[in-house]
Amino acid sequence: MQTIDDILQQAAKLSADERRKLIDSLEEGLSDEQQASDREAARLVGLDRWLSRAGTGHSDFTDVARDKYKHLAEAYSDGK
């Protein structure tokens, strides 16, 4: 594996056009990484908002789970 110094020495031997292509390619790669990082950060912010609200909802409606004993009693009763 090459060290950074080796790579920089090889880059110094490139022509001006090749150096410009190398720089453009590196900057494009950095830009792609930054965009991916920004998207991930935005996703995590949204996830944090959802998680912070978890369990905070309330409804005035009852459901079968809350009244399960009443419903089970009706289901198991002999119909009298």
DSSP secondary structure string for all residues of 6-23: HHHHHHHTS-HHHHHHHH
pTM (2 d.p.): 0.43
Q: pLDDT (tens digit, 9 = 90+) per residue, 1-50?
A: 678 889 889 999 999 999 999 998 888 888 878 888 888 888 888 888 88
Mean pLDDT of 56-80: 68
Which one has a higher pLDDT value, 53 or 60?
53
77: Cα within 13 Å, side-chain hemisphere: 8
Q: How far is CA 12 from the centre of its chain?
A: 39
Q: pLDDT-based confidence at 80, cuts 50/70/90? A: low
Please, how many CA atoms are within 13 Å of residue 75, restricted to the half-sphere of its CB? 7
**Closest of 7, 11, 10 to residue 20, by C-alpha:** 11
- Structure confidence at residue 53 (pLDDT): 82
